[in-house]
Structure 1
Amino acid sequence: MNSPTSKLIDLQNIAQVASNLKTAFSFNFDTEKHRFIFQLDKSNEFYLRLPLPVTLTKLSKEIELDDLDLTYIIAIIQSGSAALAYCEGLQIIEHKVFKAYMVRKKQGKSQLKYLKTKGKSKAGSRVRLSNTEHFFDEIIEKMNDWLSYFEVESIAMSLNKTLIPYFFHKDNTVLDKGDERIFKIPKHIEEPSFENLLKIHSYLLQGEITYPKVHEEMIETIIYKD
Protein backbone atom coordinates (compact mmCIF):
# COMPACT_ATOMS: atom_id res chain seq x y z
CA MET A 1 0.00 0.00 0.00
CA ASN A 2 1.36 3.42 -1.03
CA SER A 3 0.85 5.32 2.22
CA PRO A 4 1.18 9.11 1.79
CA THR A 5 3.72 11.34 3.47
CA SER A 6 3.69 15.12 3.71
CA LYS A 7 6.38 17.78 4.07
CA LEU A 8 6.05 21.53 4.51
CA ILE A 9 7.91 23.79 2.07
CA ASP A 10 9.17 27.22 3.15
CA LEU A 11 7.68 30.22 1.39
CA GLN A 12 11.09 31.20 0.03
CA ASN A 13 11.61 27.77 -1.58
CA ILE A 14 8.15 27.13 -3.04
CA ALA A 15 8.86 28.67 -6.45
CA GLN A 16 11.97 26.54 -7.01
CA VAL A 17 10.25 23.35 -5.83
CA ALA A 18 7.24 24.01 -8.08
CA SER A 19 9.52 24.72 -11.05
CA ASN A 20 11.48 21.49 -10.52
CA LEU A 21 8.31 19.39 -10.30
CA LYS A 22 6.64 21.07 -13.30
CA THR A 23 9.72 20.22 -15.37
CA ALA A 24 9.69 16.55 -14.32
CA PHE A 25 5.95 15.68 -14.33
CA SER A 26 2.76 16.42 -16.21
CA PHE A 27 0.37 18.45 -14.06
CA ASN A 28 -2.74 20.55 -13.70
CA PHE A 29 -3.79 23.09 -11.09
CA ASP A 30 -6.70 22.60 -8.67
CA THR A 31 -7.94 26.14 -8.00
CA GLU A 32 -10.39 25.13 -5.26
CA LYS A 33 -7.65 23.49 -3.18
CA HIS A 34 -4.88 25.87 -4.32
CA ARG A 35 -2.57 23.04 -5.33
CA PHE A 36 -0.79 21.40 -8.24
CA ILE A 37 -1.71 17.81 -9.06
CA PHE A 38 1.29 15.97 -10.52
CA GLN A 39 0.96 12.67 -12.37
CA LEU A 40 3.42 9.92 -11.40
CA ASP A 41 1.83 7.41 -13.79
CA LYS A 42 -1.65 6.52 -15.05
CA SER A 43 -2.95 5.59 -11.59
CA ASN A 44 -0.77 7.57 -9.16
CA GLU A 45 -0.56 11.28 -8.45
CA PHE A 46 0.79 13.62 -5.80
CA TYR A 47 0.15 17.19 -4.71
CA LEU A 48 1.88 20.47 -4.02
CA ARG A 49 -0.29 22.95 -2.12
CA LEU A 50 0.89 26.53 -2.52
CA PRO A 51 1.16 28.98 0.39
CA LEU A 52 -2.10 30.92 0.52
CA PRO A 53 -0.59 34.34 -0.44
CA VAL A 54 1.21 32.82 -3.46
CA THR A 55 -0.94 32.93 -6.59
CA LEU A 56 0.02 31.38 -9.91
CA THR A 57 0.89 34.82 -11.27
CA LYS A 58 3.31 35.39 -8.37
CA LEU A 59 4.93 31.96 -8.72
CA SER A 60 8.20 33.11 -10.28
CA LYS A 61 11.77 32.01 -9.67
CA GLU A 62 12.19 34.43 -6.79
CA ILE A 63 9.21 35.39 -4.67
CA GLU A 64 9.49 38.88 -3.27
CA LEU A 65 7.97 38.68 0.22
CA ASP A 66 7.06 42.38 0.15
CA ASP A 67 4.99 41.71 -2.97
CA LEU A 68 2.75 39.11 -1.28
CA ASP A 69 -0.16 41.45 -0.64
CA LEU A 70 -3.08 39.00 -0.82
CA THR A 71 -5.99 39.99 1.44
CA TYR A 72 -7.69 37.01 3.07
CA ILE A 73 -9.82 35.80 5.96
CA ILE A 74 -9.18 32.73 8.10
CA ALA A 75 -12.33 31.27 9.70
CA ILE A 76 -12.20 28.30 12.09
CA ILE A 77 -15.72 27.41 13.22
CA GLN A 78 -16.79 24.57 15.52
CA SER A 79 -19.79 24.02 17.83
CA GLY A 80 -19.63 26.73 20.47
CA SER A 81 -16.35 28.35 19.46
CA ALA A 82 -14.83 30.14 16.50
CA ALA A 83 -11.67 32.05 15.64
CA LEU A 84 -11.51 34.56 12.78
CA ALA A 85 -8.69 36.62 11.35
CA TYR A 86 -8.37 39.21 8.62
CA CYS A 87 -4.90 39.07 7.04
CA GLU A 88 -2.85 41.00 4.53
CA GLY A 89 0.18 39.33 2.99
CA LEU A 90 2.10 37.66 5.80
CA GLN A 91 0.42 39.50 8.67
CA ILE A 92 -2.73 39.04 10.78
CA ILE A 93 -4.28 42.52 10.90
CA GLU A 94 -7.35 41.81 13.06
CA HIS A 95 -8.68 38.76 14.89
CA LYS A 96 -11.71 37.75 16.94
CA VAL A 97 -12.50 34.66 19.05
CA PHE A 98 -16.13 33.70 19.81
CA LYS A 99 -17.57 31.41 22.49
CA ALA A 100 -21.15 30.21 23.02
CA TYR A 101 -23.02 27.82 25.33
CA MET A 102 -24.04 25.14 22.81
CA VAL A 103 -23.04 21.89 24.53
CA ARG A 104 -25.19 19.79 26.88
CA LYS A 105 -23.04 19.34 29.99
CA LYS A 106 -23.84 15.72 30.93
CA GLN A 107 -23.51 14.26 27.46
CA GLY A 108 -20.94 16.72 26.16
CA LYS A 109 -22.93 16.72 22.92
CA SER A 110 -23.60 19.70 20.69
CA GLN A 111 -27.19 20.90 20.88
CA LEU A 112 -27.33 20.75 17.09
CA LYS A 113 -26.61 17.01 17.12
CA TYR A 114 -28.99 16.44 20.06
CA LEU A 115 -31.86 18.00 18.14
CA LYS A 116 -31.76 15.25 15.53
CA THR A 117 -32.95 12.68 18.08
CA LYS A 118 -34.53 14.49 21.08
CA GLY A 119 -36.09 17.74 19.96
CA LYS A 120 -36.03 21.10 21.72
CA SER A 121 -38.78 21.18 24.34
CA LYS A 122 -36.73 21.81 27.49
CA ALA A 123 -35.78 25.28 28.66
CA GLY A 124 -32.04 24.48 28.56
CA SER A 125 -32.36 23.38 24.95
CA ARG A 126 -34.12 26.62 24.04
CA VAL A 127 -31.34 28.64 25.67
CA ARG A 128 -28.69 26.70 23.78
CA LEU A 129 -30.57 27.17 20.50
CA SER A 130 -30.87 30.90 21.13
CA ASN A 131 -27.15 31.03 21.87
CA THR A 132 -26.47 29.06 18.68
CA GLU A 133 -28.34 31.60 16.55
CA HIS A 134 -26.57 34.50 18.25
CA PHE A 135 -23.22 32.72 17.86
CA PHE A 136 -23.56 32.40 14.08
CA ASP A 137 -25.04 35.90 13.75
CA GLU A 138 -21.93 37.34 15.45
CA ILE A 139 -19.58 35.41 13.17
CA ILE A 140 -21.46 36.49 10.04
CA GLU A 141 -21.56 40.11 11.26
CA LYS A 142 -17.79 40.19 11.81
CA MET A 143 -17.09 38.61 8.43
CA ASN A 144 -19.47 41.09 6.83
CA ASP A 145 -17.52 43.96 8.39
CA TRP A 146 -14.31 42.71 6.80
CA LEU A 147 -15.85 41.73 3.46
CA SER A 148 -17.54 45.13 3.17
CA TYR A 149 -14.56 47.23 4.20
CA PHE A 150 -11.69 45.28 2.59
CA GLU A 151 -11.30 43.73 -0.85
CA VAL A 152 -10.97 40.17 0.43
CA GLU A 153 -9.45 37.89 -2.20
CA SER A 154 -9.49 34.54 -0.39
CA ILE A 155 -11.34 32.91 2.53
CA ALA A 156 -9.67 29.94 4.25
CA MET A 157 -12.31 28.02 6.21
CA SER A 158 -12.50 25.10 8.61
CA LEU A 159 -16.20 24.34 9.10
CA ASN A 160 -17.67 21.05 10.33
CA LYS A 161 -20.20 19.55 7.90
CA THR A 162 -22.94 19.57 10.54
CA LEU A 163 -22.58 23.35 10.87
CA ILE A 164 -22.83 24.16 7.17
CA PRO A 165 -26.65 24.71 7.21
CA TYR A 166 -26.34 26.97 10.26
CA PHE A 167 -23.69 29.19 8.67
CA PHE A 168 -24.76 29.15 5.02
CA HIS A 169 -28.47 29.72 5.66
CA LYS A 170 -30.95 31.75 3.60
CA ASP A 171 -30.49 34.88 5.71
CA ASN A 172 -26.72 34.84 5.27
CA THR A 173 -26.44 37.36 2.45
CA VAL A 174 -22.76 37.90 3.24
CA LEU A 175 -21.31 34.69 1.90
CA ASP A 176 -22.58 31.82 -0.25
CA LYS A 177 -21.09 28.33 0.14
CA GLY A 178 -20.34 28.35 -3.59
CA ASP A 179 -18.18 31.48 -3.33
CA GLU A 180 -15.06 30.88 -5.42
CA ARG A 181 -12.88 32.60 -2.81
CA ILE A 182 -13.49 29.85 -0.22
CA PHE A 183 -10.56 27.52 0.38
CA LYS A 184 -11.03 24.56 2.73
CA ILE A 185 -8.18 24.40 5.25
CA PRO A 186 -6.66 20.93 4.65
CA LYS A 187 -5.77 20.27 8.26
CA HIS A 188 -7.54 19.03 11.40
CA ILE A 189 -7.80 21.73 14.09
CA GLU A 190 -8.37 20.75 17.71
CA GLU A 191 -10.24 23.90 18.76
CA PRO A 192 -10.74 27.46 17.54
CA SER A 193 -8.43 29.40 19.84
CA PHE A 194 -6.11 32.33 19.21
CA GLU A 195 -3.12 30.00 19.65
CA ASN A 196 -4.44 27.61 17.00
CA LEU A 197 -5.33 30.54 14.76
CA LEU A 198 -1.67 31.57 14.83
CA LYS A 199 -0.60 27.99 14.05
CA ILE A 200 -2.98 27.72 11.10
CA HIS A 201 -1.86 31.11 9.80
CA SER A 202 1.75 29.91 9.92
CA TYR A 203 0.74 26.64 8.22
CA LEU A 204 -1.05 28.48 5.40
CA LEU A 205 2.05 30.61 4.80
CA GLN A 206 3.93 27.42 3.90
CA GLY A 207 3.51 25.08 0.98
CA GLU A 208 2.93 21.36 1.47
CA ILE A 209 3.90 18.43 -0.72
CA THR A 210 2.05 15.13 -0.28
CA TYR A 211 3.16 12.00 -2.10
CA PRO A 212 3.24 8.18 -1.79
CA LYS A 213 6.00 7.24 0.62
CA VAL A 214 7.26 4.56 -1.75
CA HIS A 215 8.33 7.37 -4.15
CA GLU A 216 9.94 9.51 -1.45
CA GLU A 217 13.56 9.18 -2.58
CA MET A 218 12.80 9.94 -6.22
CA ILE A 219 10.58 12.95 -5.49
CA GLU A 220 12.92 14.46 -2.91
CA THR A 221 15.80 14.20 -5.38
CA ILE A 222 13.76 16.31 -7.79
CA ILE A 223 12.40 18.91 -5.38
CA TYR A 224 15.85 19.63 -3.87
CA LYS A 225 17.58 19.89 -7.24
CA ASP A 226 19.36 23.23 -7.64
Structure 2
Amino acid sequence: MAEKSILKSFDEEQIEQLLVSLHHHYGSSDYDISKHQLLFPEKQSISIRLPLCFTYLNDNLLSSNFMIILIHSGEAALAYSEEDQIVEHKIEKAYMVRQKQGKSQIKYLKTRGKSKAGSRVRLAGTDHFFEEINEKLAEWDEYYEIDKIAISCNKTLQPYFFNRTNAALQKDDDRLFKIPKHIQEANFENLTFIHNYLISTELKFDDSDKELINTIIFEIDNE
Protein backbone atom coordinates (compact mmCIF):
# COMPACT_ATOMS: atom_id res chain seq x y z
CA MET A 1 0.00 0.00 0.00
CA ALA A 2 1.12 3.57 -0.67
CA GLU A 3 2.51 5.42 2.32
CA LYS A 4 0.83 8.70 3.19
CA SER A 5 2.09 11.45 5.43
CA ILE A 6 0.64 14.48 7.17
CA LEU A 7 2.81 17.29 8.52
CA LYS A 8 0.91 19.48 10.95
CA SER A 9 1.50 22.00 13.70
CA PHE A 10 -0.09 20.97 17.01
CA ASP A 11 0.19 22.51 20.46
CA GLU A 12 1.05 20.35 23.47
CA GLU A 13 -2.57 19.61 24.40
CA GLN A 14 -3.42 18.61 20.83
CA ILE A 15 -0.43 16.26 20.61
CA GLU A 16 -1.48 14.62 23.85
CA GLN A 17 -5.00 14.16 22.46
CA LEU A 18 -3.53 12.71 19.27
CA LEU A 19 -1.44 10.21 21.22
CA VAL A 20 -4.42 9.15 23.34
CA SER A 21 -6.47 8.51 20.19
CA LEU A 22 -3.67 6.61 18.44
CA HIS A 23 -3.05 4.44 21.50
CA HIS A 24 -6.77 3.76 21.78
CA HIS A 25 -7.01 2.56 18.18
CA TYR A 26 -3.58 1.04 17.62
CA GLY A 27 -2.39 -0.09 21.05
CA SER A 28 0.82 0.74 22.88
CA SER A 29 3.78 2.45 21.23
CA ASP A 30 7.58 2.24 21.35
CA TYR A 31 9.73 5.36 21.33
CA ASP A 32 12.70 5.51 18.94
CA ILE A 33 14.96 8.17 20.46
CA SER A 34 17.27 8.45 17.42
CA LYS A 35 14.34 9.37 15.14
CA HIS A 36 12.23 11.03 17.86
CA GLN A 37 9.23 9.02 16.78
CA LEU A 38 6.65 6.61 18.13
CA LEU A 39 6.06 3.24 16.50
CA PHE A 40 3.08 0.95 17.05
CA PRO A 41 3.99 -2.76 17.19
CA GLU A 42 0.36 -3.80 16.65
CA LYS A 43 0.04 -1.51 13.62
CA GLN A 44 3.42 -1.19 11.96
CA SER A 45 2.13 1.00 9.14
CA ILE A 46 1.66 3.87 11.63
CA SER A 47 4.42 6.14 12.96
CA ILE A 48 4.47 9.61 14.42
CA ARG A 49 7.51 11.90 14.51
CA LEU A 50 7.18 14.25 17.45
CA PRO A 51 8.11 17.95 17.30
CA LEU A 52 11.66 18.64 18.42
CA CYS A 53 10.34 21.38 20.70
CA PHE A 54 9.16 18.57 22.99
CA THR A 55 11.04 15.83 24.78
CA TYR A 56 9.23 12.52 25.20
CA LEU A 57 10.00 11.04 28.61
CA ASN A 58 8.05 8.33 30.44
CA ASP A 59 5.04 8.85 28.14
CA ASN A 60 5.03 12.57 28.90
CA LEU A 61 5.76 15.62 26.74
CA LEU A 62 8.20 18.16 28.17
CA SER A 63 9.19 21.49 26.64
CA SER A 64 12.53 21.22 24.86
CA ASN A 65 15.29 23.48 23.54
CA PHE A 66 17.30 22.44 20.51
CA MET A 67 19.97 23.48 18.04
CA ILE A 68 19.91 23.16 14.26
CA ILE A 69 23.13 22.57 12.31
CA LEU A 70 23.14 22.69 8.51
CA ILE A 71 26.58 22.28 6.93
CA HIS A 72 27.42 22.13 3.22
CA SER A 73 30.63 22.89 1.33
CA GLY A 74 31.45 26.50 2.10
CA GLU A 75 28.26 27.35 3.96
CA ALA A 76 26.60 26.65 7.29
CA ALA A 77 23.39 27.76 8.97
CA LEU A 78 23.07 27.39 12.73
CA ALA A 79 20.19 28.14 15.09
CA TYR A 80 19.25 27.82 18.73
CA SER A 81 15.52 27.38 19.41
CA GLU A 82 13.72 27.67 22.74
CA GLU A 83 10.59 25.58 22.44
CA ASP A 84 9.20 26.65 19.04
CA GLN A 85 11.01 29.96 18.52
CA ILE A 86 14.44 30.65 17.03
CA VAL A 87 16.28 32.76 19.61
CA GLU A 88 19.69 33.00 17.91
CA HIS A 89 21.04 32.10 14.51
CA LYS A 90 24.33 32.35 12.63
CA ILE A 91 25.25 31.98 8.96
CA GLU A 92 28.83 31.04 8.03
CA LYS A 93 30.51 31.04 4.62
CA ALA A 94 34.00 30.01 3.55
CA TYR A 95 36.24 29.95 0.49
CA MET A 96 36.20 26.17 0.01
CA VAL A 97 35.11 25.69 -3.60
CA ARG A 98 37.40 25.43 -6.64
CA GLN A 99 35.83 27.85 -9.11
CA LYS A 100 36.43 25.92 -12.35
CA GLN A 101 35.49 22.48 -11.15
CA GLY A 102 32.80 23.65 -8.74
CA LYS A 103 33.78 21.04 -6.14
CA SER A 104 34.94 21.58 -2.59
CA GLN A 105 38.65 21.53 -1.83
CA ILE A 106 38.07 18.67 0.60
CA LYS A 107 36.65 16.45 -2.14
CA TYR A 108 39.37 17.56 -4.56
CA LEU A 109 42.08 16.45 -2.15
CA LYS A 110 40.87 12.86 -2.32
CA THR A 111 42.23 12.61 -5.87
CA ARG A 112 44.79 15.46 -6.04
CA GLY A 113 47.13 17.17 -3.68
CA LYS A 114 47.46 20.43 -1.83
CA SER A 115 50.62 21.84 -3.35
CA LYS A 116 49.15 24.87 -5.11
CA ALA A 117 48.82 28.16 -3.28
CA GLY A 118 45.10 28.36 -4.05
CA SER A 119 44.57 24.94 -2.47
CA ARG A 120 46.36 26.02 0.70
CA VAL A 121 44.23 29.15 0.92
CA ARG A 122 41.07 27.10 0.54
CA LEU A 123 42.24 24.64 3.19
CA ALA A 124 42.95 27.51 5.58
CA GLY A 125 39.48 28.82 4.84
CA THR A 126 38.02 25.39 5.55
CA ASP A 127 39.72 25.17 8.95
CA HIS A 128 38.56 28.67 9.89
CA PHE A 129 35.05 27.82 8.68
CA PHE A 130 34.74 24.78 10.95
CA GLU A 131 36.41 26.58 13.84
CA GLU A 132 33.82 29.37 13.65
CA ILE A 133 31.02 26.79 13.66
CA ASN A 134 32.62 24.94 16.55
CA GLU A 135 33.02 28.08 18.66
CA LYS A 136 29.39 29.16 18.20
CA LEU A 137 28.01 25.72 19.04
CA ALA A 138 30.25 25.46 22.11
CA GLU A 139 29.05 28.90 23.24
CA TRP A 140 25.39 27.96 22.90
CA ASP A 141 25.88 24.56 24.51
CA GLU A 142 27.57 26.15 27.51
CA TYR A 143 25.10 29.02 27.91
CA TYR A 144 21.81 27.25 27.15
CA GLU A 145 20.31 23.93 28.18
CA ILE A 146 20.23 21.95 24.92
CA ASP A 147 17.99 18.89 24.80
CA LYS A 148 18.28 17.97 21.10
CA ILE A 149 20.66 18.78 18.23
CA ALA A 150 19.27 18.45 14.71
CA ILE A 151 21.98 18.10 12.10
CA SER A 152 22.45 17.83 8.34
CA CYS A 153 26.10 17.36 7.33
CA ASN A 154 27.33 15.09 4.53
CA LYS A 155 29.79 12.32 5.31
CA THR A 156 32.70 14.01 3.52
CA LEU A 157 32.54 16.99 5.88
CA GLN A 158 31.78 15.15 9.12
CA PRO A 159 35.44 14.40 10.05
CA TYR A 160 36.25 18.12 9.83
CA PHE A 161 33.36 18.82 12.17
CA PHE A 162 33.52 15.99 14.71
CA ASN A 163 37.26 15.17 14.75
CA ARG A 164 38.58 18.54 15.90
CA THR A 165 40.79 18.49 18.99
CA ASN A 166 38.38 20.84 20.76
CA ALA A 167 35.17 19.63 19.08
CA ALA A 168 32.02 21.04 20.67
CA LEU A 169 30.12 17.88 19.76
CA GLN A 170 31.04 14.22 19.55
CA LYS A 171 29.59 11.91 16.91
CA ASP A 172 28.08 9.68 19.61
CA ASP A 173 26.29 12.53 21.43
CA ASP A 174 22.87 11.04 22.21
CA ARG A 175 21.22 14.42 21.61
CA LEU A 176 21.99 14.26 17.88
CA PHE A 177 19.05 13.92 15.53
CA LYS A 178 19.70 13.42 11.82
CA ILE A 179 17.36 15.69 9.87
CA PRO A 180 15.36 13.36 7.58
CA LYS A 181 15.29 15.78 4.67
CA HIS A 182 17.64 16.67 1.83
CA ILE A 183 18.80 20.27 2.11
CA GLN A 184 20.23 21.87 -1.02
CA GLU A 185 21.80 24.95 0.55
CA ALA A 186 22.69 25.95 4.11
CA ASN A 187 21.14 29.41 4.11
CA PHE A 188 18.70 31.35 6.29
CA GLU A 189 15.70 30.48 4.13
CA ASN A 190 16.33 26.75 4.48
CA LEU A 191 17.17 27.19 8.16
CA THR A 192 13.70 28.63 8.86
CA PHE A 193 12.08 26.01 6.63
CA ILE A 194 13.78 23.19 8.54
CA HIS A 195 12.91 24.81 11.87
CA ASN A 196 9.24 24.87 10.92
CA TYR A 197 9.49 21.25 9.81
CA LEU A 198 11.14 20.19 13.08
CA ILE A 199 8.51 21.85 15.30
CA SER A 200 5.71 20.13 13.37
CA THR A 201 4.23 16.68 13.99
CA GLU A 202 4.59 14.19 11.15
CA LEU A 203 2.22 11.25 10.83
CA LYS A 204 2.97 8.41 8.40
CA PHE A 205 0.39 5.76 7.54
CA ASP A 206 -0.99 3.52 4.79
CA ASP A 207 -4.06 4.07 2.62
CA SER A 208 -6.03 1.74 4.88
CA ASP A 209 -5.48 4.10 7.84
CA LYS A 210 -6.27 7.32 5.98
CA GLU A 211 -9.95 7.66 6.92
CA LEU A 212 -9.37 7.06 10.62
CA ILE A 213 -6.35 9.35 10.80
CA ASN A 214 -8.24 12.17 9.07
CA THR A 215 -11.16 11.68 11.47
CA ILE A 216 -8.85 11.87 14.51
CA ILE A 217 -7.21 15.06 13.23
CA PHE A 218 -10.57 16.63 12.37
CA GLU A 219 -11.83 15.98 15.91
CA ILE A 220 -8.71 17.48 17.44
CA ASP A 221 -8.92 20.56 15.22
CA ASN A 222 -12.55 21.15 16.12
CA GLU A 223 -12.43 20.71 19.89
Figure out how many residues of one structure are paired with residues of the other and give that number.
217
Instruction: Give a deviation string over 1:122-144, Cα, whole Å, max 9, x none.
Output: 22111111111110010000001
What is the aligned partner in structure 1 of residue 8 from structure 2?
A: 9
Q: 2:203 and 2:123 mapped to 1: Cα distance?
A: 41
Aligned partner of 1:95: which letter? H
Aligned partner of 1:47: which letter? S
More divergent stretch after superposition (5-14 vs 208-217): 208-217
What is the aligned partner in structure 1 of residue 48 from structure 2?
A: 48
* CA shift in 2, pair 1:58/1:11, >3 Å: farther
Match of 1:73 among 67, 71, 75: 67
Aligned partner of 2:98: which letter? R
Partner SS for 1:22: helix
Aligned partner of 2:112: which letter? K
Q: 2:164 and 2:127 mapped to 1: Cα distance?
A: 13
Instruction: Give a deviation string over 1:143-183, Cα, whole Å, max 9, x none.
Output: 01111112212111111121111101041342111111111
Gaps of 5+ in 1: none
Task: Answer yes or no: is the 8 Å Cα contact 2:45–2:204 preserved in 1.
Answer: no
TM-score by length of 2: 0.87
Quick check: 1:20 aligned with 2:21? Answer: yes
Runs of 4 or more above 3 Å deviation: 57-60, 212-215, 217-226
What is the aligned partner in structure 2 of residue 31 from structure 1?
A: 33
Q: 2:164 and 2:89 mapped to 1: Cα distance?
A: 26
Match of 1:97 among 91, 97, 113: 91
Task: Answer yes or no: is the 8 Å Cα contact 1:111–1:128 preserved in 2.
Answer: yes
Report the aligned-residue RMSD: 2.2
Q: 1:81 and 1:59 mapped to 2: Cα distance?
A: 38
Task: Answer yes or no: is the 8 Å Cα contact 2:80–2:86 preserved in 1.
Answer: yes
Instruction: Give a deviation string over 1:6-62, Cα, whole Å, max 9, x none.
Output: 211222232222221122224211011110112465xx43320001112224976xx
Task: Answer yes or no: is the 8 Å Cα contact 1:3–1:214 preserved in 2.
Answer: no
Partner SS for 2:181: coil
* CA shift in 2, pair 1:207/1:6, >3 Å: same
Task: Answer yes or no: is the 8 Å Cα contact 1:39–1:45 preserved in 2.
Answer: no
TM-score by length of 1: 0.86
What is the aligned partner in structure 2 of residue 82 from structure 1?
A: 76
Q: 1:18 and 1:214 mapped to 2: Cα distance?
A: 19
Instruction: Give a deviation string over 1:186-223, Cα, whole Å, max 9, x none.
Output: 12222111121111111111110122345433543455
Match of 2:138 among 138, 144, 164: 144
* CA shift in 2, pair 1:141/1:221, >3 Å: same
Task: Answer yes or no: is the 8 Å Cα contact 2:54–2:83 preserved in 1.
Answer: no
Q: 1:193 and 1:93 mapped to 2: Cα distance?
A: 17
Question: Percent identity at matched positions?
Answer: 49
* CA shift in 2, pair 1:56/1:159, >3 Å: same
Q: 1:172 and 1:210 mapped to 2: Cα distance?
A: 40
Q: 1:14 and 1:139 mapped to 2: Cα distance?
A: 34
* 1:73-222 matches, cutoff 5 A: 73-213=67-207, 215-222=209-216
